[in-house]
Amino acid sequence: MRVVLLGATRGMGRALARRMAERGDQLFLLGRDPEELQRSAADLAARHPQHAPVGTHACDLASSASFPAALDAAEAALGGFDTVVVTAGLFATQEAMEADTALAEQVLAVDFTGTVIFCEHARKRLLGRGGGTLCVFSSVAGERGRKPVVLYGAAKAGLSRYLEGLDHKFCAQGLKTVCVKPGFVKTGMTAGLKPPPFAGEPEAVAQQVLRAIDGGLPVVYTPSIWRWVMLVIRWLPRFVMRKIGF
């Protein structure tokens, strides 16, 4: 695959980039911090010196003006791409966002508007080449309005719906949309939070997501048990949701 990855500097994106590089996929990394991008590209090059060098370009989800140039650079370096993966995202606790409206605005802008507009640019380019895969990390937080993730969950709910709509509209034209819904995964994003039962590791998530990309699965819960956890949560009546803290 010729893959553009946005968010490979940390966490699940980094684990996925390493796994893709391991099997010989050609990668191009996008991110908001050029130094972090260089470090990540150097890490991949050191692990696989036999592969073509990994290119990078700045791309900030908070600034849609950066998207076209970033995708142009990826197209030029890879000679066209067939897969775009977006793991980049921001998280803040519900308490922090309730106390700081500017922070809430930033998280909503990056996780919803920025991500959706980036995907719009990416899917037009993929469709222009006859199709390809758009794999985007949403969250189980978007499955139901829940007290600990009212704002973050709202952004991810919107993102999941957008990806579902893309799948319905463009699948027949060759666009494979993969919406990844992680539960709690141990990364920098969740550092300092108490891991619940079934907390996942980024490497296991990467393996599962790669299988979903290869198989063209439209939705993947990871770790898999979250599919069943969220099935139960989706069916809980409102009076129960008002009482519980989950």
Interatomic CA distance for residues 84 and 115, integer angstroms:
12
* CB 36 to ligand NAP: min, Å: 4
Q: How many residues are given for the chain?
A: 246
Query: Residue 59 or residue 78: which is nearer to ligand NAP going by CB?
Result: 59
Query: Residue 188 or residue 216: which is nearer to ligand NAP going by CB?
Result: 188
Query: Residue 62 or residue 173: which is nearer to ligand NAP going by CB?
Result: 62
* CB 140 to ligand NAP: min, Å: 6
* CB 73 to ligand NAP: min, Å: 15
* CB 24 to ligand NAP: min, Å: 23
Interatomic CA distance for residues 151 and 90, integer angstroms:
12
Query: Residue 84 or residue 90: which is nearer to ligand NAP going by CB?
Result: 90
Interatomic CA distance for residues 30 and 36, integer angstroms:
10
Query: Residue 13 or residue 55: which is nearer to ligand NAP going by CB?
Result: 13
* CB 7 to ligand NAP: min, Å: 4
Q: Which amino acid is it at 12?
A: M
Tokens of 7: 């968010």
* CB 47 to ligand NAP: min, Å: 18
Beta bridge partners of 222: 182
SS3 track for 123-192? HHHHHHCCCEEEEEECCHHHCCCCHHHHHHHHHHHHHHHHHHHHHHHHHHHCEEEEEEEECCECCHHHCC
Interatomic CA distance for residues 182 and 199, integer angstroms:
10
By the criterion CB under 6 A, which residues form the site for ligand NAP? 7, 9-13, 31-33, 36, 60-62, 87-91, 110, 137, 139, 182, 184-185, 187-190
Query: Residue 131 or residue 203: which is nearer to ligand NAP going by CB?
Result: 203
